[in-house]
Every structure is written in structure tokens, then in C-alpha cells.
Amino acid sequence: MGSVTVKRLRAGDMDAARALNALFGRCFSDPATYCETPPEGAYLTALLNKPHVVALVALHDGDVCGGLVAYELEKFEQARSEIYIYDLAVDEALRRQGVATALIAEVSRIAQQRGAWVSFVQADNEDAPAVALYEKLGFREEVLHFDIPPMGKPAG
């Protein structure tokens, strides 16, 4: 494997942002969510300009081979924030080669820079490689996750 570099996406990085969504669609087997109705450029520009939105890509030979999207959440109970890693994926051909670890290291560096108290991520129980990676890097908590639809929309 050649070298992999990690880059934080900014407003002008539309091609990389779109490549990251395509990667998420492939890796999560969910092209409908990530590719069918892509956000307009103005939306992505505004999103990437927000300091609490962290979008990182891992580049291998100039191509997006991994990435993550995280959000800084300001807390109510104390004057502090947490970084929630929402999406994280690595191209299948480059897994188990340190790409995800490099992405998490960069988001951890950004968290420290922003004064965040902790970074956290969720994983499905059946996703053994992700669970193993996160256990290597942090502390496991057993929680339940519930999706609550907006009022007026049916659950499920």
C-alpha cells in the first residue's frame, strides 16, 4: 500500500465530499441514502464551513479510500462538548491497514484542539471488525439506540 494522507474537507472540496458519500454508499450497502439525492453544492459548502462539522477523507494515490463525518455537540449539563463520529468507512481493499485508525487519530486531534471532553462512536454488535477497532481505541459502553421519527411520521 502506498501512503495514505488524511485531509479535513473544506467548502471547496466538493469532489472529495461527493466521493466520500459514494464510498459510504458502497461500504454501508446503502446507495439510496448516500447517492440518490445528493445535497446541492450550496448546502455542502455551508455545512463544511461550520466549525462543529468535521468531515475527513483518507486519500490513497489521490483517491478517497476512507473517511468519517463527525459532529461536535455542545453539552447542557456542563460547559463542554463531545465529538460524535457519525459515519466512518474504509474501502474494502484498504481495510486493516491503519486507515480507520488514522482517521480517528485526526478527529481526536481536532477534538483536543477544540477542547472537547470526549469523542464517541456507535457500532452494530454484528460488525465485529468495527467493534474490535473501537475496543482497541476506547472504552465500551452497552447502550440501546432508538430512532424517534418527527411528530406526524409513522415509526418504522
Q: Residue 115: give its domain's CATH number.
A: 3.40.630.30
pLDDT of residue 149: 66
Instruction: Kindly state whether residue 146 falls inside one of the protein's structural domains.
Output: no
125 phi/psi in degrees, rounded to 5: -55, -35
* Torsions phi, psi for 18 (to 5 deg): -70, -40
Residue 74 is assigned to a structural domain of this protein: yes
Residue 146 has what pLDDT?
Answer: 66
Asked, for residue 147, whether it belongs to a domain, the answer is no
**In-domain check, residue 54:** yes
Does 142 reside within a domain? no
Spatial separation of the C-alpha atoms in residues 92 and 77, rounded to whole Å: 40
List the pLDDT tens digit at each of the 156 positions of the chain. 568 999 999 999 999 999 999 999 999 999 999 999 999 999 999 999 999 999 999 999 999 999 999 999 999 998 989 999 999 999 999 999 899 999 999 999 999 999 899 888 777 767 667 666 667 667 667 766 666 667 766 666
| Structural domain that includes position 74 | 4-137
- What's this model's pTM, rounded to 2 decimal places? 0.84
Judge whether 151 lies within some domain.
no
Identify whether 150 is part of a domain. no
The answer to whether 66 and 95 have CB atoms below 8 angstroms apart is: no
| Grid cell locating 154 | 409513522
Please write down the HEC assignment for all residues of the chain: CCCEEEEECCCCCHHHHHHHHHHHHHHCCCHHHHHHCCCCHHHHHHHHHCCCEEEEEEEECCEEEEEEEEEEEECCCCCCEEEEEEEEEECHHHCCCCHHHHHHHHHHHHHHHHCCCEEEECCCCCCHHHHHHHHHHCCCCCCCCCCCCCCCCCCC
Q: For residue 112, how far is the Cα from the chain centroid? A: 17
With respect to residue 56, please indicate whether it lies within any of the assigned structural domains.
yes
Q: Using an 8 Å Cβ cutoff, are 11 and 55 in contact?
A: no
pLDDT of amino acid 77: 92
How many distinct structural domains can be found in the chain? 1
pLDDT at residue 138, as a whole number? 73
pLDDT at 150: 76
Query: pLDDT at position 122, please?
Result: 76
